[in-house]
Chains A and B, each alone.
Chain A
Amino acid sequence: MKLPESFYEAVKEYQIGPGDILAGAVADFDREYRFADTVVALTRDKLLIAAYPYREKQEYKLGGYGGIAPDMTLAGKPALAIYPLEKVESLKVLRQIGTGVLMGEIEGTERFLCQFSNTKQGYFHKLEEILRKVKAGEDIQEKDLDVEHNRKACPKCGMLYPDQERQICPKCMDKRSILLRVMSYFKPYKLQLALMVLCYLGTVALNLAWPYLSGTALYDKVLSKDEDFVAFLGLPAGSFLAALTMLVIAMIVAKGIGQLFGILQGVMTAKVAPRVVGTIKSQVFDSMGRLSISFFTKRQTGGLMTRVCDDAGEISNFFIDGIPYFFINSLTLVVTVIIMFALNPLLALSSVILMPLLVVMSYRMLPHLWHFYGKRHRANRRLNSQVNENLTGARVVKAFGREEQEIRRFGRNNGKVRDSEMDLARYDNRFYALYYSVEDTVSFLVWAVGGAIMISGFSRSAGETISLGMLLTFSGYVGQMKGPLEFMSRIVRWYTNCMNSAQRIFEIIDATPEIREAKDPYRPGALKGEIELKNVTFGYEPHKPILKEISFHVNSGEVFGIVGRSGSGKSTLVNLISRLYDPEEGEVLVDGINVKQYGFRELRRNVAMVSQETYIFMGTVAENIAYARPDATRKEILSAAIQASAHDFICKMPEGYDTMLGSSGRSLSGGEKQRISIARAILADPKILILDEATSAVDTETELAIQQSLERLEKGRTVISIAHRLSTLRNAKRLIVLDEGRITESGTHEELMEKKGTYYKLNELQTKALAMRGLE
């Protein structure tokens, strides 16, 4: 472990060299909570603490910038404290909310040694452990010193991947590659895209021709009876009416072709966009299926999917509308300006002179406008969620008689929506009024300059007067520039939005699951169902273990009970058996083989879980029961339902087993859902059955019935049963009691009763409660 140079300097005079230091960590706060460094280091026989003075204007790096920079320049000389290790009993990290404190037990006194941000927490935990090992005389191995335990770092810049599920360094990410990657989704549609480009080009050409046709050609050539023009059209001299007819026909044809291009392009868009969106979405969903549970628990799953769906649309829109229009609009702008200058430089100059102002204005003012849009969106969302809350919680609102209060709350939220709406309208008006007045000024300027030239009969360009048609043509061109200009002011934001959407999507597509199937997985035909846990330690977050050094063994075909109060880690424990998570330390063995070596399919087909969280999918009752085995016959489904005591209530429903469940279908009570999930497990016919409070939501009578069916189900399987009610566990041959993530008691029912510990107490309480009720 590398520590700052100045620290090595400071300890040199105590005959401590860099080689003597076993481990070290740098704390980043002083006791006044200012950013100041304290180095804590261990040698074989000493604890060194070097507190550096606080320096102002130092830039500090917290979340995501972990690690000890060896070149960290520490100002000043540190205040050094050295404790001989025989006086230091232990080090302990005391977790606070946003910080940690290192406490040392030194000569029987608990001492506050230093405090640090959560970023440094891991280093101090290591220090704590290393001291324990040194004290116990254990060897210190390379892996003990490795704080970035199992965590991978970016090969380019060395920064730890902030998210281990997604090994992409956000710093070294190439933004352009996102663009290219998104483009690759459009590759299969080259032909359609080419057609679209053709349509766009045609539109540009028509757009450019239109002002000329309706201005110069109509007024200057036909209406002002230009003989050359008639001759140019190949008509007999003087036949202006014919020329007019031809011009009108040409104009109609131009419009018609324009429409045709529009339709064609619409058809192509309709062909390409939904397909690309579909491909992206299914890739995302595929990837989500692969990912381990922890990916979803870290994020809000519901929001994730809707966001992804919106994102896919956003990307496709940008590529179908954004990019082509960007080229079309740039082309239109450039060509328009060129044509204008070619026709009449002075008029052209007066029409483009104010254009930069428009660009600047929209660039500066649009963000504010978006801000107001965002505010309105938030206010609306708050209002909607309140309405939603009140509808779903109507019973509670009524029961407590809080209608008045809710109405007032609605009034407040509604007021906020109104205010934000008004703010938005106000700014919106201001912006567009200003914007359009500049635009109109441009038009007026063209008219004014053009008019002045016409009247004075002077034009610098060719010494000829400007005609009315020319003026109309110009005004047409000016009008045509408005659209592209507005577009240009939006494109930057559009582009960033699209890239962000793409990022989010690739974030999910690229995520590598934390839990991966072994390369050459073990695929046994059938399992015996023997389970063993060896020194398993696990926590959802680093340094916050939920399970601590759990070891037990369950024989094949045995019923094993787990008892413990809520939050003691029971459910977490069983999640490790079906490998929804991997333990941090220790191993989980099934039939003597680490679960990591099994193929997912083999392992999970053999492990079924009935948990306290029941989940009903959209579909019929029968489909829900046959979820794990879609090929099950009707008879098998019926038999599973009967065994789970679900048959009766299913039969009573008008559509029986064909009843639609899920979002739009019938809703079931908690007990009914639980019975369906039990039936699901019965039908799955696993070798290892995990019952996690499987009967907690049913009434006592039903529980007894289900218990009987479970007993039948338990034959020939290994069952791990978790329950609050000890009566549920009466078949368990052996039991363990979990408390704060540790096994505190284990043994058979009789042994545990003998111990007179937690189990005994629980048992007494529950039988007592029943007995008391009996007396009344």
Chain B
Amino acid sequence: MQEERLDLLNLREFDEEAYKKESEELLEMRMLTAETATFARTEGGFLSLKVGDKEYKRVRVYLTFPLTNPEEYISIREATEKAKEIGMVESLSVLPANQQEMLREQIRLRYFMPEIRKVMELKEEYGYAYWYVETTYGVCRFTTHMSNDAVVTLGESRLLVTDIDGNRYEIPDFYALTVQERKRLDLFL
């Protein structure tokens, strides 16, 4: 065993340069600007990206601060399983208007989250809470667990609700709800 080990110190076959380059790339912050990158809508309704002479057929758009800063530092990633980062867009405003719109569309797709405007009914039964609410997208019913992580408080008064299937809803301002509604939500707070 020990002798084989020594053998491995023979490094001729190991491309150190390539490795160094790879790891440096990993540590670098690459910014995409209107000059270096062009986004386009694909025929199938997705988003493609051209950076220099490299073309990505389909890319994913991740927000780095989805809850507090949805317009800046947007991470563009490959559509593969590993979702390797291609680069970041420092701010949507650096891109041409039509491309901004394309990115916003992708962001909406990924971070879709109805806002709850009204809590008509909230019933707790045997470890589950049954919600009947009005959202920005319509009236809906859903179920959440009764644990604390079903409703998470963000900052002072913002609430994030996750139902048992992983659908997410937002209550932008708890104190903007009526006293009755807040009373119903008391269950979770």
Q: CB within 8 Å of B: which residues of A? A: 29, 33-35, 56-66, 96-99, 101, 103, 106, 109-112, 115, 117-119, 121, 162-163, 166, 168, 170-171, 173, 299-300, 303, 367-368, 370-371, 374, 378, 500, 503-504, 507, 730, 740, 749-750, 753, 756, 760-761, 763-765, 767-768, 771
Q: Does B84 contact A (CB under 8 A)?
A: no
Contact A98/B126 with A60-B140, A300-B148, A765-B19 known, Cβ cut-off 8 Å: no
A residues less than 8 Å from B139 (CB atoms): 57-60
With contacts A58-B138, A117-B167, A371-B182 known, what are 6 further pairs, Cβ within 8 A? A33-B108, A59-B141, A61-B142, A112-B46, A168-B126, A374-B186
Contact A367/B147 with A65-B142, A764-B11 known, Cβ cut-off 8 Å: no
Chain B residues touching A, range: 35 or more
Say whether A768 contacts B165, CB under 8 Å. Answer: no
Say whether A111 contacts B44, CB under 8 Å. Answer: yes
B residues 95-139 touching A (CB-CB < 8 Å): 108-113, 124-128, 130, 137-139
Q: Does B143 contact A (CB under 8 A)?
A: yes
Q: Does B42 contact A (CB under 8 A)?
A: yes
B residues less than 8 Å from A507 (CB atoms): 126-127
Task: Give the docked Cα–Cα distance between A299 and B145 (Å).
Answer: 10
Task: Give the docked Cα–Cα distance between A371 and B178 (Å).
Answer: 13
Task: Give the docked Cα–Cα distance between A106 and B46 (Å).
Answer: 14
Say whether A62 contacts B45, CB under 8 Å. Answer: no
The SS class assigned to the A binding surface is mixed
Contact A65/B166 with A96-B110, A98-B112, A740-B82 known, Cβ cut-off 8 Å: no
Task: Give the docked Cα–Cα distance between A756 and B66 (Å).
Answer: 40
Say whether A99 contacts B109, CB under 8 Å. Answer: yes
Task: Give the docked Cα–Cα distance between A117 and B14 (Å).
Answer: 47
A98: contacting residue among B1, B149, B167, CB under 8 A: B167
A residues less than 8 Å from B42 (CB atoms): 109-110
A residues less than 8 Å from B168 (CB atoms): 97-98
Say whether B125 contacts A173, CB under 8 Å. Answer: yes
A730: contacting residue among B1, B44, B58, B164, CB under 8 A: B1
Q: Does B27 contact A (CB under 8 A)?
A: no
A residues less than 8 Å from B149 (CB atoms): 300
> In angstroms, how far is the closest chain A Cβ from the Cβ of B122?
14
Task: Give the docked Cα–Cα distance between A56 and B109 (Å).
Answer: 21
Closest residue of B by beta carbon distance from A753: B8
Task: Give the docked Cα–Cα distance between A195 and B45 (Å).
Answer: 77
Say whether B14 contacts A34, CB under 8 Å. Answer: no
Binary contact track B33-72/A, C-beta < 8 Å → 1, others 0 = 0000000001111100000000001100000001000000
A residues less than 8 Å from B126 (CB atoms): 168, 170, 173, 503, 507
Say whether B127 contacts A63, CB under 8 Å. Answer: no
Q: Does B158 contact A (CB under 8 A)?
A: no
Q: Does B13 contact A (CB under 8 A)?
A: yes
A119: contacting residue among B66, B167, B182, CB under 8 A: B167
What would be 29 A-B contacts, judged by CB atoms less than 8 Å apart?
A: A35-B140, A57-B139, A59-B140, A60-B141, A62-B167, A63-B163, A63-B166, A64-B130, A64-B165, A97-B66, A97-B113, A99-B167, A109-B42, A111-B43, A118-B167, A170-B125, A170-B127, A173-B125, A299-B147, A300-B149, A303-B148, A371-B182, A374-B186, A503-B126, A740-B81, A760-B14, A764-B8, A767-B9, A768-B11
Say whether A35 contacts B138, CB under 8 Å. Answer: yes
Task: Give the docked Cα–Cα distance between A518 and B20 (Å).
Answer: 53
Among B4, B128, B148, B166, the one with the most A-chain Cβ atoms within 10 Å of its Cβ is: B166
A749: contacting residue among B4, B128, B141, B183, CB under 8 A: B4
A residues less than 8 Å from B167 (CB atoms): 62-63, 98-99, 117-119
Task: Give the docked Cα–Cα distance between A59 and B140 (Å).
Answer: 5
Say whether A96 contacts B112, CB under 8 Å. Answer: yes
Closest residue of A by beta carbon distance from B22: A761
Say whether B127 contacts A61, CB under 8 Å. Answer: no
Closest residue of B by beta carbon distance from A111: B44
A residues less than 8 Å from B165 (CB atoms): 62-64, 66, 117-119, 121
B residues less than 8 Å from A371 (CB atoms): 179, 182-183, 186
> In angstroms, how far is the closest chain A Cβ from the Cβ of B183?
6
Task: Give the docked Cα–Cα distance between A118 and B142 (Å).
Answer: 12
Q: Does B144 contact A (CB under 8 A)?
A: yes
Q: Which 7 pairs of residues, A with B, have the shortest CB-CB distance?
A: A63-B163, A64-B143, A112-B45, A111-B44, A63-B142, A60-B140, A62-B142
Task: Give the docked Cα–Cα distance between A740 and B139 (Å).
Answer: 39
> In angstroms, how far is the closest chain B Cβ from the Cβ of A43?
22
B residues 140-184 touching A (CB-CB < 8 Å): 140-149, 163-168, 179, 182-183
Say whether A170 contacts B128, CB under 8 Å. Answer: yes
Contact A63/B1 with A96-B110, A97-B110, A166-B127 known, Cβ cut-off 8 Å: no
Closest residue of A by beta carbon distance from B8: A767
Say whether B82 contacts A98, CB under 8 Å. Answer: no
Q: Does B16 contact A (CB under 8 A)?
A: yes
Say whether A33 contacts B112, CB under 8 Å. Answer: yes
A residues less than 8 Å from B110 (CB atoms): 96-97
Task: Give the docked Cα–Cα distance between A255 and B33 (Å).
Answer: 88
A residues less than 8 Å from B186 (CB atoms): 370-371, 374
> In angstroms, how far is the closest chain B Cβ from the Cβ of A561?
13
Task: Give the docked Cα–Cα distance between A397 and B114 (Å).
Answer: 38
Task: Give the docked Cα–Cα distance between A57 and B134 (Å).
Answer: 10
Contact A763/B8 with A60-B140, A62-B140, A98-B113 known, Cβ cut-off 8 Å: yes
B residues less than 8 Å from A368 (CB atoms): 179
> In angstroms, how far is the closest chain A Cβ from the Cβ of B2?
9
Task: Give the docked Cα–Cα distance between A38 and B148 (Å).
Answer: 34
Task: Give the docked Cα–Cα distance between A371 and B143 (Å).
Answer: 23
> In angstroms, how far is the closest chain A Cβ from the Cβ of B124?
7
Closest residue of A by beta carbon distance from B6: A767
Task: Give the docked Cα–Cα distance between A106 and B43 (Å).
Answer: 11
Say whether B189 contacts A62, CB under 8 Å. Answer: no
Contact A56/B138 with A63-B164, A98-B167, A503-B126 known, Cβ cut-off 8 Å: yes
A residues less than 8 Å from B19 (CB atoms): 761, 765
Task: Give the docked Cα–Cα distance between A162 and B143 (Å).
Answer: 9
A residues less than 8 Å from B125 (CB atoms): 170-171, 173, 503
Task: Give the docked Cα–Cα distance between A568 and B9 (Å).
Answer: 27
Say whether A64 contacts B124, CB under 8 Å. Answer: no
A residues less than 8 Å from B142 (CB atoms): 61-65
Contact A35/B166 with A111-B44, A112-B45, A374-B186 known, Cβ cut-off 8 Å: no
Task: Give the docked Cα–Cα distance between A749 and B7 (Å).
Answer: 13
A residues less than 8 Å from B8 (CB atoms): 753, 763-764, 767
Task: Give the docked Cα–Cα distance between A99 and B110 (Å).
Answer: 7
> In angstroms, how far is the closest chain B Cβ from the Cβ of A748?
11
B residues less than 8 Å from A749 (CB atoms): 4
> In angstroms, how far is the closest chain B Cβ from the Cβ of A364?
11
B residues less than 8 Å from A303 (CB atoms): 148
Say whether A110 contacts B58, CB under 8 Å. Answer: yes
A residues less than 8 Å from B182 (CB atoms): 371
B residues less than 8 Å from A760 (CB atoms): 14
B residues less than 8 Å from A756 (CB atoms): 13
Among B43, B124, B167, the one with the most A-chain Cβ atoms within 10 Å of its Cβ is: B167
Task: Give the docked Cα–Cα distance between A121 and B163 (Å).
Answer: 14
Closest residue of B by beta carbon distance from A120: B165
Task: Give the docked Cα–Cα distance between A64 and B132 (Å).
Answer: 13
Task: Give the docked Cα–Cα distance between A682 and B96 (Å).
Answer: 65
Say whether B148 contacts A118, CB under 8 Å. Answer: no
B residues less than 8 Å from A65 (CB atoms): 141-143
> In angstroms, how far is the closest chain B Cβ from the Cβ of A490?
16
